[in-house]
Amino acid sequence: MAVGAIVIVQNVQTALMTYVINVIVRMTIFKHENFVLDIKYAHKSILYKNNKLLFMGDGYKAIQILISQSADSEPVKKQFQSQLRMREKPKFDTANDEIERLRREAQAAMVSNNNKKKKR
């Protein structure tokens, strides 16, 4: 009886893994307007336009091309907001930053030293 129970558990686990793999594979294709974006792997994404290959390469670059080429890019931005937010450039406020003030002072000192010519 123990052997039969182990086999049933393994069959259930195999069925669940197959279901999970199928769901993951289906989730990697994004369709918008006349574009199809296949993101199976981040380093090898494929972007089709009118069933013709438009781009093959980095996933982030494919998303950027899809946003720039589509007429209504809001659904694309909404779908890939986490990927886009990860690559967002940092926004720093340098107006009141102590290091920025010191950098400006040092730069001004270097400019004033370069203006004074040494006499021989």
Domain-embedded: residue 93: no
Residue 112 CA, chain-centre distance (Å), reads 45
**Of 66, 44, 47, the residue nearest 57 (C-alpha):** 44
pLDDT for the residue 35? 94
Computed over every residue of the chain, the mean pLDDT equals 77
Give tens-digit pLDDT for 27-54.
Answer: 588 999 999 999 887 678 999 999 999 9
Collapsed DSSP state (helix, strand, coil) of residue 46? strand
Domain-embedded: residue 27: yes
Domain-embedded: residue 100: no
Domain-embedded: residue 95: no
What is the C-alpha to C-alpha distance for residues 20 and 14, in angstroms, rounded to an integer? 10
Q: Is the per-residue pLDDT at 24 higher than 70? A: no
What is the C-alpha to C-alpha distance for residues 60 and 62, in angstroms, rounded to an integer? 5
Higher pLDDT, 59 or 112: 59
Give the global pTM: 0.53
What is the C-alpha to C-alpha distance for residues 75 and 78, in angstroms, rounded to an integer? 5
Residues spanned by the domain of 67: 2-86
Give tens-digit pLDDT for 83-99.
Answer: 888 877 766 666 667 88
- Counted domains in the chain: 1
